[in-house]
Structure 1
Amino acid sequence: MTHFSADEQAILAPYVTNLDQPVFALQHLPEEVIAVLFAYYSRSRESLRRNLLDLITAGDLDLLATTSIPASGAPPELGHAQAKARRFHEKWVVGYGHASVAEHAVAHLAVEDVSIIASKVIEDMRLASYTEKSTRYVAFDTKQYYPLPELQGTAADATYHDTVQALFQTYNALLPDLIEAVKRDWPRGPQQTERGHHTACRAKALDILRYLLPAGTLTNLGITINGRALEHLLTKMLSHPLCEVRQLGEQLKTEARKVIPTLLKYAKPNAYMAETEIAMQSMAETLLESVDAVQDEPAVRLVQAPDDAEATLAAAILYSHSQQPWSQLLNRVRHFSQAQRQNVIDAYLSRRGPHDQPLRALEHLTYTFEILVDYGAYRDIQRHRMATQTRQMPSPQHGYSLPEDVVRYGVQETFDACMQRAAAAYEQIEHARPRVAPYVLPLAYRCRVLITWNLRELHHFVQLRSAKQGHVSYRRIAQDVYRAIDAHHPLLARYIRVDLEDYGLGRL
């Protein structure tokens, strides 16, 4: 353990949570300085605190060595690292390819007035955390949609604006009466407050009406992401075919460079990404024939499942507790009786508490599903990013979801009219600018998505998304995913926690 003099302790105290323990947190330091300090672990025999002290006392960082932090926060000099920190990043991150250093710097970014379509591009990045404006708790107004500069100067521009404004007007006109109708169907219980009852009924009404919101609806989201992942995200965005996404990429880069400038210096459009997107689109149009919509297409289809799944899982469970090579161990487990394999799997999973996730051996089994789902529900499903997702954009070809409650509350005629108007607008916009046509479609319209999950993540997805408080659209997807696994591998499905009930008001 490194020991510090009284003067050294006074210098270090503002920046670390303790001076004498092997575990401590860093505080009041710029993100790039933190990345430098962690990077020194791979190049220095000294402790982090000693390296930080050396940087401060040598004047290599623009830090004020004070014995206390002012009431307003960190000293004003903490705002910027000086040239040596920058040169360190240039040398190790750029010169020697040590990109992992950038993972120690984190940016917190607020992105407001971004379309739902663009938000899905951002949220494709696995290694980040997102919080997005909720369609369940927030009502949207007629001004909250992206204007599509690609359509300026075309006849389709007026069609787009008129259609999305009509969708918002219908959404807002229906909301008050729908809240009251839900309240009549679901009277307040004796243990429920008036406010709690109103909140639950309003959420139910907004869940129904979210199907009317166009995909061009503006949303807000918060992002927490490390520098390495952010550079990759920016590169993807700057290379994207949609104008909105490219502009957002530039704005994100500008603001993030104010926090971690060196780590994002080389984020720029990528020719491979941009050109391959164009080439694949052209090739698909040349090689693939247009087809009519599939009638009665199932919402969930299991298209690929592991062979010999029970033996594979049992062997994966036993692997870390043995010294045998995989092939030998798997062959041995294949000769187990059914009861022996079941005992291994049961011993691995049966001790789980109510909040315990399965252990990691389940990640060795993967399942691929093709899911046909309304775009509103896809927004929630996409959040399970520990998976490989390949999606098609929503299209009138796949039809739209008709919620049972739309029929129940007598607004189907209005709902269908909105869908038909949006489909007609889509056709006109597609003729002018194909890539932006999905912006006009309500969230009720369906898209296909191909998702490969490992079995451990499937446990998480099914349990969370089938829960009572979930939206009916994705609850049914989660239930159908469970049923598909149960039909294919019933022994493995028996350990998945699923709620197969239906609920009229999930958040009472």
Structure 2
Amino acid sequence: MSDVRQNPTAFPENMNTTEVYAIHGADPEVLAYAMAKYSRSALSMKESLKEISTQRAEQFLNTFYFAYGHRSIADLAHVAFAIERLSLLAAIALVDEQRWDGQERSTRYQDFKKSGWYTPALGEKTAEYTAAAEKLFIAYDRIGKQMLETLKEAIPQPAEMKDDAYVRTLKARAFDVARYLLPLATNTSLGQIVNARTLEGQIARLLGSEFAEIRQLGEKLREAASGPAWNVHADEARVLCQEISSVDGICGDRAMSVLGREVKVSPTLVKYTQPSAYEASTKQELRAAAAELMQGAAIEPAPVVDLVDDSEGLEVELAASLLYPHCHYSYRQIRNVVTGLSAAQRDGIVALGAKHRGRHDELTRAFSSGHGFGFDILMDIGGFRDMHRHRKCVQLIQEFTDVHGYDIPECPGQPTLADAGLEVEYREAMEASFAAYRALRDSGLPEAEQSAQYLLPLGTRVRALFKMDFAEALYISELRSGVAGHFSYRNVAWQMYRAVTERHPSLASYFRTVDIDEPIDLLKR
């Protein structure tokens, strides 16, 4: 047998030299194709990108993504979107993805009084809806301004602190209170960067929503991914090409074909996206199953944070988790009922969760069970939006409703609404919004139940179940209990820490939480 080392062409030289380079300028789907080729070709990335055309990428994706179901290819195509002037309600639905990166307008650092709001198709009820929204914005503006003045009176400006920094810091504290009055109809804007697989699932989920605005949002996302993207350098490229054409027309045309071409970020991977029939059918059947099981029982009182265990077994957890998002009961109350069912009855509930699953459908999120820690949290919607960012958790969210009431914003060591003479006005604004919500919900209009939710303010309580491992429980407790955080989620983070350490005392020393009862400097952010 010959020695391959005697053949100088048997192996390339410098086998131990790693090359690393960033890539810029490739269309997302073309780049995904080029990366996928690593599994099927020995070509380098540079060689692959030089060889690939947009048309070839589309042919490849049609074969391997759609025909063969190699969905991991879409993980390689990342797309950036700007999504502007959507309601807070729609924004919560949009970002409800475990694989999601983005940023949204902050209710702490921006004044939303001029943002406007989304109005559903309500016909003769539009005037009543508009009046209710206007009242909330008036209260938001007045309470925010008065809280700022109260804070200025209570917290002297340090000599070394500049005027703008002092006012800006106290404004943020005032907005933390005022935001409780912003309705879910309030317009916001956000940017997101997601891979094409997440985008496809996101669009399918949005298209199947019960809310008209959210369905339209899904359509607009699909159109934005399939159509020409906005090019930040388009104007500069056009001017440059004109200058080149003034000297050499042929070169100018060539330059325009390269610099001015339209880029479609994900035309192939989302073009067949349709509403998720699996999710829609499953939601309908589980909602009916939850109503039948609970038989109109009263909602039992529950703490802000309830650390639930699933010692009854995975089957009980799965059944309870599947029912949880489709009613307004606590997880503990649902689980207690599920525990009393026969094995066959529990299996029937679990079967409903997978009954309508298609060939390429992922199981619904409720099937992500078996985590060590489950926190059933009842908190204001505004604070929930901050907690919603923790995407390493499995989050099961119940629908927005008035049945849990609302919170009173109160920060230890900070002047209260009562101190500012605003508590009565705040309560009246919240009660009026709830009354408007109920009137619209019961109006009999198409999608009345959905349209009414836009009038619920961010101070309304919402219930959500957060499942996680120990590391994530520690991370959230540490991060969200910090003195710079909003007092709403600081309390939740502290209660999470207390719940874990009461159950597992030996782990308490690993937490670096901040006691929310300790005085804090309100001028530190």
Give the TM-score taking structure 1 as reference length.
0.76
Distance across 2 between alignment mates of 1:302 and 1:215: 28
Q: Which is worse superposed, 222-231 or 434-443?
A: 434-443
Instruction: Describe the superposition over 1:433-460 as per-residue Cα deviations: whole angstroms up to 9, x where unpaired.
Output: 1233221111111011111111111121
Matches within 5 A, 1:426-505: 426-432=437-443, 433-502=448-517, 503=520, 505=522
Q: Which amino acid aligns with 1:152?
A: G
Contact kept? 1:35, 1:105, Cα under 8 Å: yes
- The residue correspondences of 1:273-422 to structure 2 (distance < 5 A) are 273-292=279-298, 294-295=300-301, 297-304=302-309, 366-404=372-410, 405-422=416-433
Task: Read off the aligned partner of 2:123 and give its amino acid letter.
Answer: Q
Partner of 1:181: 150
1:291 & 1:190 partners in 2: Cα distance?
59
| Letter of the structure 2 residue corresponding to residue 242 of structure 1 | F
- Counterpart of 2:113 (choices 135, 141, 155) is 141
**Structure 2: distance between partners of 1:106 and 1:99:** 14
Q: One-letter code of the match for 1:493?
A: A
Residues 398 and 445, structure 1, Cα contact 8 Å, conserved in 2: yes
1:365–1:455 CA contact under 8 A, matched in 2:
no
Letter in 2 for 1:467: G
| Equivalence for 2:123 | 152
Pair 1:126 & 2:98 matched: yes
Could you tell which deviates more after superposition, 446-455 or 172-181?
Answer: 172-181
Aligned mates of 1:364, 1:370 — CA distance in 2? 15
Matched, 1:167 2:136: yes
Instruction: Give the alignment's Cα RMSD to 1 decimal.
Output: 2.2
The answer to whether the 8 Å contact 2:374/2:467 transfers is yes
Report what 2:65 is aligned to.
93
Q: CA deviation at 1:2?
A: 7.8
Residue 45 of structure 1 and its aligned partner are, at CA, apart by: 2.0
Counterpart of 1:237 (choices 194, 198, 206) is 206
Separation (CA, whole Å) in 2 of partners of 1:138 and 1:507: 18
2:253 corresponds to:
none
- In structure 2, what residue type is equivalent to 1:87? Q
State yes or no: 1:249 paired with 2:218.
yes
Displacement after TM superposition at 1:493 (Å)? 2.7
Q: SS of the residue aligned with 2:377?
A: strand
1:396 alignment partner, SS class? coil
Which segment drifts farther, 399-408 or 298-307? 298-307
Q: Secondary structure of 2:473's match?
A: helix
Report the secondary structure of 1:487's partner residue: helix
- Offset at 1:99? 1.2
* Contact preservation (8 Å) 2:437, 2:453: yes
Indicate the SS of the match to 1:264. Answer: coil
**C-alpha distance in structure 2 between counterparts of 1:173 and 1:410, whole Å:** 12
CA distance in structure 2 between the partners assigned to 1:462 and 1:306 by the alignment: 24
**Percentage identity across aligned positions?**
33
The one-letter amino acid of 1:415's match is Y
Q: Classify the secondary structure of the residue corresponding to 2:510.
A: coil
Q: Residues 307-332 of structure 1: CA distance to partner in whole angstroms, max 9, x if unpaired? A: 9xxxxxxxxxxxxxxxxxxxxxxxxx
Aligned-pair distance for 1:291? 4.4
CA deviation after TM superposition for structure 1 residue 143, in Å: 5.5
CA contact (8 A) 2:83 2:191 kept: yes
Match in the other structure for 1:115:
87
Corresponding residue for 1:217?
Answer: 186
2-structure distance, mates of 1:97, 1:43: 16
Instruction: List alignment gaps of at least 5 residues for structure 2.
Output: 1-10, 228-264, 313-368, 411-415
Listed as ranges, the gaps of 5+ residues in structure 1 are 4-19, 62-80, 308-362
- Secondary structure of 1:233's counterpart equals helix
SS in 2 for 1:178: helix
Cα deviation digits, residues 109-129 of structure 1 (max 9, x gap): 011111111111111111110
- Partner letter of residue 273 of structure 2? A
Maintained 8 Å contact 1:364/1:454: no
Q: Is the 8 A contact 1:2 1:47 kept in 2?
A: no
- Which whole-Å deviations, capped at 9, do the CAs of 1:263-287 have from their partners, x for residues lacking one? 1122111222222222333343444
Instruction: Give the Cα–Cα distance (whole angstroms) in 1 for the partners of residues 434 and 428 of structure 2.
Output: 10
SS at match of 1:206: helix
Q: Check conservation: 1:306, 1:366, Cα contact below 8 A.
A: no
Asked if the contact 1:306/1:365 (under 8 Å) is kept, the reply is no
User: In structure 1, what residue type is equivalent to 2:389?
Assistant: R
AA paired with 1:148? Answer: P
Q: Tell me the equivalent position of 1:205.
A: 174
Cα distance in 1, alignment partners of residues 466 and 423 from structure 2? 32
Q: For residues 42-91 of structure 1, give each alpha carbon's deviation from its aligned partner in whole angstroms, at most 9, with x where no partner exists.
A: 101222223334x1xxxx52xxxxxxxxxxxxxxxxxxx2x212111111
Partner of 1:45: 42
Distance 1:257 1:506 in 2: 47
Distance change >3 Å, CA 365–CA 238, structure 1 → 2: closer
Amino acid at match of 2:522: L
- Verify the 8 A CA contact 1:301 1:370 in the aligned structure 2: yes
Report deviation, 1:294.
4.3
8 Å CA contact 1:468, 1:506 repeated in 2: no
Alpha-carbon shift at residue 21 of structure 1 (Å): 5.3
> Would the alpha carbon gap of residues 367 and 221 (structure 1) be closer, same or farther in structure 2, given more than 3 Å must change?
same
TM-score (norm 2): 0.74
Give the Cα separation in 2 of the matches to 1:228 and 1:364. Answer: 25
User: Relative to 1, partners in 2 of residues 1:407 and 1:294: Cα closer, same or farther, differing over 3 Å?
Assistant: farther
State whether residues 179 and 205 of structure 1, in contact with CA within 8 Å, keep that contact through their aligned partners in structure 2.
yes
